[in-house]
Amino acid sequence: MGRTMKFLSGGVFVLGALAAGIIFSNWDDSVKIVSLGINYFRYMGAPAGTIITEVAAASKQPMPARQNSSARVSAPDSEQGDWPSYNKTLTSNRFSSLVQITAANVGDLKVLCTYDTGQYTGFNSGLLKVGAALIFTTEYDIFSINPNDCSQNWRTHEDYQPATPQGVSRGAAYLDGRLFRGTQDGRVLAYDFNTGKRLWETVIADSKKGESAPAAPIAWNDLVFIGNAGGDIKGVKGRMYALDAQTGRIVWEFYLVPRSPDDIKRAPEGKSPLDDASWDTPAGSPITGGATWTSYTLDPVSGLLYVPGGNPAPDFAPGMRKGGNLYTGSVIVLDARTGNYKTHYKLVPKDWHDWDVSSAPVLAETAAGKNVMLVAPKDGHLYAYDLSNNELLFREPMTKVENADAEFAAGQSVHFCPGSIGGAEWNGPGFDPQNNLVMIGEVQWCTTVTLQKQEQIAASEPGKPWSGDATLNPFHMWGKQDPFVSIGRHDAPNDRHTSEFSAAGIKRGECFRPIGEYLVDVREHEA
């Protein structure tokens, strides 16, 4: 009996040591697996549309739910301190002219208050500031808190089963006393700004196919604009929608990749010249990709909507989708009122690195009076276009670029930079009109991919993640990421820039201090 216990104890010790070693060496994956699993199973049986709205009294800590709808938030004002959209303005300039915090006093800032959501989940939400309320979202909740003391104005919780266990939400939009957000089960929801009461819901995507709506919508002229995500899921096609802000009725839809006859039609379609000529796919392989997952840009003067188009799928395998794969890797310009196509800018001509045009472009007027569009995709470059003639003004590298032209071949590993989660992700450029400067945060994080054989890629089931990477780890379907990431770059590529270097060890949490800035002076590029 004693020997048996020693044997069992030894076995448990060996297995424990082995498990500890695996967890330690793959800590980033282990944390994701556990946290995503907890949240996924937590809401697994929840019926779509179950909501709980709680309104809390002033407190610096989250309060228990109270069935009280009397609390009000002061009406939004027009002061420059408001930030009513994901990128502040519809033109996505991401610039604040506030002057109280300066380079001289920023080091003296102290924490005023904190608010704990009580959740372990993705937290990608862009903050909205409207009047006396900060608005933000998580996968299942939308929050309104007082920015002066972090007391909760209200919090509305939605129970539902998400399309995927990613746990993300980019944020909300505000318009005329209403808030709007998308969900991970493909709905768009509207709430009363003052109370958090849900006003309407509209389905724009099929969660059973892997479609969702995590993007931060924008709202203008009594319309709400949002698209579906899921472009890395086999068979999912990116689409853009305009909804009536008062009722939730879908006003128009626009397919960002070619629509098939059997694809669902949810509303009148915007006019489009797109066909499948730029998609040469094997028999049985559906056109996939072009989804949106960040936010959007709109010119309120012209009424033009600028949509960043995601990557084509399967990732890393252009042999499965020969051609230009329109309108993936592009900024697509639509008439915001009708959804009719106006033009597009193809930034990533042929994508086999998962280099989405992810973040919303910036529309800006330079110091010389030139109207430009500034775009930062995941390919590690900053692009500028002259909007008067659609001419490319410049394409500047913002990160290390390595093996950008190296073709992938089955069974061979390729290390490339920026990687599939490098470059500019959901946070796009910002434009400072006072100094005529563009500011952009870039992720210098490289990826290694080993391509599968084409027949293996084709065998993937519809509704499942579709990647050409040969891996057994589901969290490495978009390549194996380097263990270290740097933000910015070591040196400036030319005298148009100053340099920045900041790095963090993803698995261990090391952080190196930034030693400069990384700016693009638009004046250097003006005629």
Tokens of 291: 């989804």
| Residues paired with residue 494 on neighbouring β-strands, in sequence order | none
Q: Provide the pLDDT confidence category of residue 443 given band limits of 50, 70 and 90.
A: confident
More confident residue, 120 or 90: 90
Asked whether residue 91 is domain-assigned, the answer is no
End-to-end Cα, the chain, rounded Å: 88
Q: Residues in the chain, how many? A: 527
Per-residue pLDDT at 402: 95
- Give the DSSP H or E segment for 38: helix 27-42
Statement: residue 286 has pLDDT above 80: yes
Q: What is the pLDDT of residue 485?
A: 58
- pLDDT value at position 47? 44
Average pLDDT over residues 294-323: 97
The residue among 454, 458, 412 whose CA lies nearest residue 319 is 454
For residue 11, the model assigns a pLDDT of 61
Q: Are 33 and 27 in contact (CB under 8 A)?
A: no
Is the residue at 123 inside a domain?
no
From 316, 345, 344, 348, select the one nearest 329 (Cα to Cα): 348
Q: Bridge partners of 312? A: 289
Top-confidence range, 159-168, 187-196, 513-522: 187-196
- Work out the pLDDT band at 518, boundaries 50, 70, 90: very low
Rounded CA-CA distance 340/74 in Å is: 38
Cβ-proximal residues to 66 (8 Å cutoff; 6+ apart), any chain: 54, 55, 56, 57
In whole angstroms, what is the distance from residue 374 CA to residue 372 CA? 6
Span of 33-42, 199-208, 282-291 with lowest mean pLDDT: 33-42
Higher pLDDT, 159 or 499: 159
Average pLDDT over residues 442-451: 91
Asked whether the predicted pLDDT for residue 500 surpasses 70, the reply is: no
pLDDT value for 35: 52
Q: 329: how many CB neighbours lie within 10 A of its CB?
A: 28
Evaluate if residue 347 carries a pLDDT over 50. Answer: yes
More confident residue, 274 or 526: 274
For the chain, percent of residues with pLDDT exceeding 90: 65
pLDDT at 499 over 50: no
Say whether pLDDT at 438 is over 50.
Answer: yes
Q: How far is C-alpha 443 from the geometric centre of its chain's CA atoms?
A: 14
Which has the higher per-residue pLDDT, 14 or 73? Answer: 14
Identify whether 39 is part of a domain.
no
HSE-CB at 164 with a 13 A cutoff on CA atoms is 21
Mean pLDDT of 237-244: 99
Residue-level pLDDT at 120: 84
3-state secondary structure of 4: helix
Which residue has better confidence, 44 or 270?
270
| Structural domain boundaries enclosing 446 | 155-484+512-524
Give residue 52's pLDDT. Answer: 54
User: Is 80 exceeded by the pLDDT of residue 107?
Assistant: yes
37 or 248: which leads in pLDDT: 248
Please state, in angstroms and rounded to a whole number, the distance separating the CA atoms of residues 60 and 57. Answer: 10
Q: Strand, helix or coil at 244?
A: strand
Residue scoring higher pLDDT (374 or 510): 374
Residue found by looking up tokens 């509209």 in the block: 202
Q: What is the mean pLDDT of residues 45-60?
A: 46
Whether residue 103 is contained in a domain is answered as no
Residue 438 lies in a domain: yes
Name the packing angle between helices 27-42 and 2-25 (round to 10°): 100
Percent of the chain with pLDDT over 70: 75
Measured distance CA(71)–CA(154) in Å, rounded: 8
Q: In the predicted model, what is the mean pLDDT of residues 245-251?
A: 99
8 A C-beta contact, residue 193 and residue 172? no
Token digits for 268? Answer: 């009148």
Residue 141: the pLDDT is 96
Which residue type, as a one-letter code, is found at position 396? E
Strand (E) positions, 1-79? 50-54
pLDDT of the residue at 164: 84
Q: How far is CA 173 from CA 115, 154, 293, 455, 525, in A?
A: 21, 17, 14, 43, 34
User: Looking at residue 455, what is its pLDDT?
Assistant: 93
Q: What is the pLDDT of residue 483?
A: 78
Q: List all residues 6 or more positions away from 442 whose beta carbon is below 8 Å from its beta carbon.
A: 376, 380, 398, 399, 418, 422, 423, 424, 487, 488, 489, 518
Summarize the confidence of residues 325-340 as an average pLDDT.
98
Query: Is the per-residue pLDDT at 426 higher than 90?
Result: no
Q: CA 51 from chain center: how many Å?
A: 25
- Confidence grade of residue 123 (pLDDT, cut at 50, 70, 90): confident
pLDDT over 80 at 168, yes or no = yes
Domain membership flag for residue 55: no
Q: What is the pLDDT of residues 464-492, one digit of tens each?
A: 999 988 876 666 666 888 876 554 433 33
pLDDT top residue among 443 and 243: 243
For the domain that residue 411 is a member of, what is the CATH number? Answer: 2.140.10.10
Instruction: Flag whether 126 is in a domain.
Output: no
Kindly tell me if the per-residue pLDDT of 313 is higher than 60.
yes
Query: What's the confidence (pLDDT) of residue 504?
Result: 35
Split into its structural domains, the chain has a count of 1
Indicate the average pLDDT of the chain.
83
- Asked, for residue 476, whether it belongs to a domain, the answer is yes
How far apart CA 85 and CA 171 sit, in angstroms, is 9
